[in-house]
Amino acid sequence: MSEQLTHLDEHGRARMVDVGHKDDTARVATARGAVHMQPETLQQIIAGNMKKGDVLTVAELAGVMAAKRTSDLIPLCHPLMLNHITVTCTPNPAQSCVDIEATVRLTGKTGVEMEALTAVTIAGLTIYDMAKAIDKGMRLTDVRLVRKEGGKSGEWRLEMC
C-alpha cells in the first residue's frame, strides 16, 4: 500500500480532501454487519414482542437516517446528496443474529463507503438499544465494506463477504 494518505496535508495535519476538480460519476457502496444475540432474543424480535416496537423496521430507518448524517459524525467526510439508501435487517436464526446490509448510491465527486458503513453500524446499535432490556450481551460484529463501484479506483469487492 504505497498510496499517499489523502486526509493529511504536507505537514501531516488532518484535512478534508478537495474533490472540486473531480468529475461526477455514479458511485455505490455496500456494507454488512451482524448483531449476535441469544436465540430467545431473536425470537422475541421476529415475533414483534419487544416493548419498544418493531425492532427491524426502526433499525432500518435509523440506518437510512445515519447514512444521510455521516458527515456530521465523521469529521473529514463530505456532506453528500445521496440518491438512494437501502438498509435491510434480516433475522438469521441459524446464527442467532440479525444480518444487516446497507447500499448507498449517488452521482458525485466522492464515494459513499463511509455512509454505507455508518448505516450498518447505527442500524446495529439501534437493534441493541431496542433489545438491551432482555439481552445486554448482544454483539455488533463484522461491520465491513463488501463492495464499491465508481470513481477513479473503479469496482472493488471483498473476496469473502
pLDDT for position 4: 59
The answer to whether the predicted template modeling score (pTM) of the entire model surpasses 0.75 is yes
The segments of the chain whose pLDDT lies below 70 read 1-9, 14-20, 22, 160-161
Total domains present in the chain: 1
pLDDT for position 1: 41
Q: Would you say residue 55 lies in a domain?
A: yes
pLDDT for position 24: 81
pLDDT in tens, 35-46: 999 999 999 999
Q: Which of 1, 26, 45 has its CA nearest to residue 138?
A: 45
pLDDT for position 18: 61
Residue ranges with strand state E in the chain: 25-36, 84-92, 97-108, 139-149, 156-157
Q: Would you say residue 149 lies in a domain?
A: yes
Q: Would you say residue 5 lies in a domain?
A: no
pLDDT for position 6: 66
pLDDT for position 103: 98
pLDDT for position 140: 98
* Domain CATH for 150: 3.30.70.640
| Residues counted in the chain | 161
Residues forming the active site: 129
Residue 54 belongs to what domain range?
Answer: 25-157
Q: Would you say residue 139 lies in a domain?
A: yes
Which helix (H) or strand (E) element contains residue 118?
helix 113-131
* Backbone φ, ψ for residue 64 (5° rounding): -60, -45
Give the rounded percent of residues in the chain with a pLDDT score beyond 90.
75
Taking CA atoms, 32 is separated from 73, 83, 113, 135, 147, in Å, by 19, 20, 11, 22, 10
Q: Would you say residue 11 lies in a domain?
A: no
Count CB atoms within 10 A of the CB of residue 12. Answer: 7
pLDDT for position 2: 43
Convert 35-45 to b/e letters by CB count within 10 Å (16 or more is b). Answer: bbbeeebbebb
In the numeric block, the cell 444475540 is attached to: 37
Q: Would you say residue 82 lies in a domain?
A: yes
Q: Would you say residue 98 lies in a domain?
A: yes
pLDDT in tens, 112-135: 999 999 999 999 999 999 999 999
pLDDT for position 93: 98
Q: Would you say residue 19 lies in a domain?
A: no
